Structure 1
């Protein structure tokens, strides 16, 4: 009997449908994958809830999902490092590989990059999926398919810590205790940060952050960014060397600029408004470097190594699990703050 393929197709705002599609065949340097697990990201929720994420807008039906793992079921011509049966984590962005940015190793900034579930490119929340073989990374036997799906958001955190220069002895502020914020905390600690303070408006997420290794947690109850920066300084015992903004809140970005020590770095991992009002002159006079993060580059092997070594454990972050047929319920749980969800995983 021929294999059947089922996919979660987003047609528009609040319109996610399960549809049968053709089973894709691998081309040159591609592999066909039987998808294992796919995590729901904040960007997926934005496409589902609003029909857009930042500057990217949904114009045609699109298969959702980009945090994925799978098992190789077919190998296309030219593939040498993978074989049928290999379990892999899927790096969802495939660049042109030939432009100046790609050759400099900054392939995440390639203008021709094709990224899963970024319009108009289909994602991988389906039973079968085809992907570039050189952007599929073998999973150690000790890691589950769910952990393989978590490599994608973990890579974001690895890249963010690299951009911020987190190192031995760093004191780090993390704004936002969602899955990315908590994983950023874990990565910072693995890199040798001596103290990490994480902020959020949600007590449940702060409790999770504390239980998973945060040195300090602070509930945000004020809109006075300068006053909050003072509390952060008192909590850490000094100004943070690095602030990782993971909440997507303009207020948190402003707080980070006030809190970060002169000569430090503020890294934008979360996505706030397109034109936030921030104290840029203050940042300039403090020589605080404001750095952007756009996905990641060359971080998958490092993320997998962190998981394999046990220095980072993402399993406690997976709070809700659904099967592919219940994808709509999975998205509803991921969006609902009252659900207590940190990371929602769909097993295909």
Structure 2
């Protein structure tokens, strides 16, 4: 008996402009000639999923109707379209959920920066439903094979790792660069893992939560930590960061998007250094303009990623980056609502919540 016969109901986790959260039954999708039908076995809950549920928007991306969540997923191919050549039923795969137009007339697709494609279909970004569902049809070109020894959970974590690796690439991090990471959430911790593999030294990571800083030390024992106190002046926090680092930072990876945290990172940066913002924050923010200018500090930003998934999978497969300790909570697909509550409740002390389907 195949999985479609055993589990004929395509469950998914949806929200709406009313900020509700519920399990829904969807149609099992038909596949096109270039698509694969995937049984999604593991999905991580991203902060953006929680944000769309709680707030209904991120910048110009607004929830306007019934809307499916999730874009960190891995699973098993069940069926393939007639033109698919790279996959067969039974293959274990990770899903890259940003599908650009790939038209030769698209400047960004043609030049390899497909993350900027204006016609991208990014699953779980309104108006496109996410992949946090049992069965999902996905284009062959945006599916990546997982080695047998890489678990589905690790495969789903390739997505946040790709965000971190894109940040490492664009930031220009080099061996023995003194580095500060602001924020020890999932992106901050994956950035720590990536920066460690890239050879940054020394490294300081900051957070408001002692538990998350403890997790950072568990992952990378040599990392130095700074516990941020609410209400503390940004320059005071920056001085504590510099004291722990033993010098001003050449590079800051800002993984929170919080204005005060960005300020602390800027003040902790050396003349000619860089502050690289990976986190998502408010639409409009103030910055210490003259401090940046007088110290020739570059302030840079990142939007998603491109051409990173194969690299991320190879690093995990080789054992150079271990993602397994990031998973703090596991729920069945049928418990999807409870999973989101855990991911959004500080008392749950979640790092990465996984939703699994056997």
User: Which residue is equivalent to 2:279?
Assistant: 270
1:159 aligns with 2:166: yes
User: Which residue is equivalent to 1:34?
Assistant: 39
Matches within 5 A, 1:192-231: 192-213=199-220, 215-221=223-229, 222-231=231-240
Deviation at 1:23, TM superposition (A): 0.6
Give 5+ residue unaligned stretches, structure 2.
none
Aligned to 1:287, the other structure's residue is in SS state: coil
| Pairing partner for 1:139 from 122, 142, 146 | 146
| Pairing partner for 2:333 from 309, 324, 333 | 324
Distance 1:190 1:62 in 2: 37
For the aligned residues, what is the CA RMSD?
A: 1.2
User: Which residue is equivalent to 2:305?
Assistant: 296
Aligned to 1:223, the other structure's residue is in SS state: coil
Aligned to 1:262, the other structure's residue is in SS state: strand
Deviation at 1:229, TM superposition (A): 1.3
Quickly say closer, same or farther: Cα 1:306–1:13, change in 2 above 3 A.
farther
Distance 2:288 2:306 in 1: 29
Distance 2:99 2:85 in 1: 18
Quickly say closer, same or farther: Cα 1:267–1:13, change in 2 above 3 A.
farther
Q: TM-score normalised to the size of structure 1? A: 0.97
Q: Does the 8 Å CA contact 1:174/1:185 hold for their aligned counterparts?
A: yes
Deviation at 1:11, TM superposition (A): 2.3
Quickly say closer, same or farther: Cα 1:13–1:158, change in 2 above 3 A.
farther
Aligned to 1:264, the other structure's residue is in SS state: strand
Q: Does the 8 Å CA contact 1:11/1:17 hold for their aligned counterparts?
A: no
Deviation at 1:260, TM superposition (A): 1.2
1:73 aligns with 2:78: yes
- Deviation by residue 1:286-328 (Cα, 9 ceiling, x = unmatched): 2211111111111101111111111111111100000111111
User: Which residue is equivalent to 1:82?
Assistant: 87
- Which range is displaced more, 53-62 or 87-96? 53-62
Distance 2:168 2:346 in 1: 27
Q: TM-score normalised to the size of structure 2? A: 0.95
Deviation at 1:225, TM superposition (A): 1.1
Q: Does the 8 Å CA contact 1:13/1:49 hold for their aligned counterparts?
A: no
Deviation at 1:13, TM superposition (A): 4.1
**Equivalent pairs, count:** 348
- Which range is displaced more, 176-185 or 163-172? 163-172
Q: Which runs of 4+ in 1 moved over 3 A?
A: none
- Deviation by residue 1:110-144 (Cα, 9 ceiling, x = unmatched): 10111011000010111100111111100011110
Deviation at 1:171, TM superposition (A): 1.2
Deviation at 1:4, TM superposition (A): 2.5
User: Which residue is equivalent to 2:125?
Assistant: 118
Q: Does the 8 Å CA contact 1:65/1:125 hold for their aligned counterparts?
A: yes
Aligned to 2:313, the other structure's residue is in SS state: helix
Give 5+ residue unaligned stretches, structure 1.
none
Matches within 5 A, 1:329-340: 329-340=338-349
